[in-house]
Structure 1
Amino acid sequence: MKKKIICAAAFIAAIIGASATVTWVGECGAEVITVSYKYFDNPIEIEEYYQELNQIYCGTKKGLYTIIRDDI
């Protein structure tokens, strides 16, 4: 019974975690699984966060990027 509860909890956590992520693809082709844009308060925060990822992974702050939704 304890194993079933643990497995059920792990399954629920996996479902919740999967719906909260997107795949960010930077200008240089780097791919990062990160938090969804749904968790930001406004579009400016979203843009700043994704541009910071571009700076970290591709070396340019104002580069192009693509968001691939994993929750559909």
Structure 2
Amino acid sequence: MNCYECAAGSGPPRVAVAVCRECGVGLCTGHARVETHELLRPAGLGKTTTDLPARRVVCPVCAAAEASVPGPV
């Protein structure tokens, strides 16, 4: 599978090494955005986060869309 972002642009095709968690497109190392994500788990009367954050991979389009949404007030 080739990188969708490379194929959509004018550059040469590159091999995809990851898949965007949100939209599912294949991504090369140059277009993959690796972020950390806190996991929540039930614990008694509330929720708590895990000790280590998880890894998530998103494409530049989904990363920009998520950044444009305001956070909770």
TM-score, normalising length from structure 1? Answer: 0.28
Name the one with the larger strand percent.
2
Structure number with greater CO (CA < 8 Å, separation at least 6) is 1
Name the one with the larger helix percent.
1
